[in-house]
Structure 1
Amino acid sequence: MKKQILLVVFSLLSMFFTYAQEFGFGIRGGLNTYSIGDIITVGSNGPQGPDAGLNFEPVKDIGFQAGGYFFAQFGKFFVRPELNYVSSQNHYDFPDRQSKWTTSKIDFPILLGYELIGPVSIYAGPGFNFFGDTEIEGVQETSFTTGSPGPDLKKTTFNINVGIMFRYKRLGVDLRYEMGQGETDQEREDFIRSAYGVNLADLKPYKPNVLSLSVFFDIFRTDAQSIGGMFDGLFKGNSCYCPF
């Protein structure tokens, strides 16, 4: 089913680019924060561990993303598919030691946007995520754990993106919020108590929402001459309007 959806998406994108008034491609990169669930101790954690029912909230750390995009312009409307590598992290302040939570994914959003006024545009669209490994430091595989050590995230997920971007000639800034459409399952984790001060605990369900801030640069635009590109006039006789 997912392959059929992607096939339809690629067919629609091909049609958009065929009839586009302007088009181009570029690169983007930036920073992100990722929302995950609390960890709550359960059962007996022993004399050296905390009591049951103690709640440890995740502390958001800064991750990064990098990738590329194409765009097709239809007057004030545009279509912008992207392909990005996203790395995110958080940590939990356990009694004896911090435990880092890390994940990575390949992100394929398809954004539909509208130019509001001047350089400011808004957009929304679906995104397809292909996750790599997700890990929590200090988790060990025992008979008490649920599945493999660390979070058992689905490898392929779906989200909705909304955002706003500001563009100046070839350069732009993009603020985006990704809303995960599927909630994770609650999982029982068994931590190394001697190192972290926590033994058995539950990772509470959460939706993987991401807030990101990126900058982007149009490597090629068919309307580069009309916007007076950042490299305009440096390359005489450059009919493709590439910056290099």
Structure 2
Amino acid sequence: MLKEFKDYLKSGIFLLFLIPVFPLCAQEYSFGLKAGLGYTINQKAAEVDGSAGSFSADSKIGFLGGAFLEVGFGKFFVRPEVFYSHAEGEFAFPDLPSTYSVDKISIPLLLGYNIYGPVDIFAGPAYQEFLQVDLENTASPVEVQQRNFATQLGVKLVLNRLEIDLRYDFTLDSKRNQLIDVGELMDEAYFDDGRLNQIMLSIGYRIFDTANPRRARSNRGCYF
């Protein structure tokens, strides 16, 4: 899995630089790294339904890390990213609590707007590649749709080269359902979907930034 992660990370960073970074309208651009935590908001996304009842994955804390490129156009900006995330949820099966974990690469393309001073809002689609999924106490591995899309939206606070990013990551429903064996508890149960939606909080550092402090953006002109 480590080799796959490195390959996807290299591909994702390469994709960042496929975005035109020197358009005539662009006033500033930056590149940096980010890391943080994710809190699962399941909302019946991942469920197990069997003879012992129906179960949804309870919230747990995961982590994330990656890179970003941001290109500014006046008060607007385009922000491609690539990051790895590990998310977890816990199924409270009777006498057999089981952790469900998801490792994936996300490549979002976000459109943002500087609403005031250091505060930006953003939203956009994200391509996701699932690297590994695991549900404890099952007789056979669970399977999910390996490639999927998500929607991300949030707000960030920029303080010179540092930024604090809070966003919601909603993975689209794959409509996938599979039969699983949960030991003696449920010989036959259905595992519905496999996504774990998250609230993500991260801290980023701008390694390279053409405007520091960058809030000068709002005072610069653009062609639109």
Which TM-score tier does this pair reach, normalised by the shorter chain? 0.7 to 0.9
TM-score, normalised to structure 2, is 0.80
Correspondence 1:118-129 to 2 at 5 A: 118-129=117-128
Tell me which of the two structures has the higher relative contact order, counting C-alpha pairs closer than 8 angstroms and 6 or more residues apart. 2
Residues 173, 83 of structure 1: alpha-carbon distance in 2 compared, 3 angstrom cutoff: same
Aligned residue for 1:39?
Answer: 48
Measure the CA separation in 2 of the matches of 1:226 and 1:89. Answer: 36
* 1:28 to 2:34 alignment: yes
If you compute each CA radius of gyration, which structure gives the higher value, 1 or 2? 1
Per-residue deviation at 1:125?
A: 1.2
Identity in percent: 31
Task: Give CA-to-partner distance per residue, 1:99-123, whole Å, 9 cap, x none.
Answer: 1101111111111100001111111
Q: Given that residues 172 and 215 in structure 1 are in contact (C-alpha distance below 8 angstroms), is that contact kept between their aligned partners in structure 2?
A: yes
* 1:92 to 2:98 alignment: no
Measure the CA separation in 1 of the matches of 2:133 and 2:18. Answer: 33
Aligned residue for 2:207?
Answer: 219
Tell me the matched-pair count. 199
Measure the CA separation in 1 of the matches of 2:199 and 2:31. Answer: 23
User: Which residue of 200, 204, 211 maps to 2:192?
Assistant: 204
Measure the CA separation in 2 of the matches of 1:18 and 1:227. Answer: 20
Q: Give the aligned residue type for 1:222.
A: T
Q: Given that residues 71 and 78 in structure 1 are in contact (C-alpha distance below 8 angstroms), is that contact kept between their aligned partners in structure 2?
A: yes
Residues 154, 214 of structure 1: alpha-carbon distance in 2 compared, 3 angstrom cutoff: same
Q: Given that residues 57 and 89 in structure 2 are in contact (C-alpha distance below 8 angstroms), is that contact kept between their aligned partners in structure 1?
A: yes
Measure the CA separation in 2 of the matches of 1:208 and 1:95. Answer: 22
Q: Given that residues 16 and 80 in structure 2 are in contact (C-alpha distance below 8 angstroms), is that contact kept between their aligned partners in structure 1?
A: no
Residues 11, 213 of structure 1: alpha-carbon distance in 2 compared, 3 angstrom cutoff: closer
Aligned residue for 1:110?
Answer: 109
Aligned residue for 2:153?
Answer: 162
Measure the CA separation in 2 of the matches of 1:25 and 1:18. Answer: 16
Higher share in strand = 2
Per-residue deviation at 1:135?
A: 1.1
* 1:190 to 2:142 alignment: no
CA RMSD of aligned residues (A): 2.4
Q: Give the aligned residue type for 1:37.
A: A
Which ranges in structure 1 are unaligned for 5 or more consecutive residues? 1-5, 43-49, 142-148, 229-244
Helix, strand or coil: the match of 2:144? coil
- Say which is worse superposed, 132-141 or 28-37, in terms of deviation: 28-37
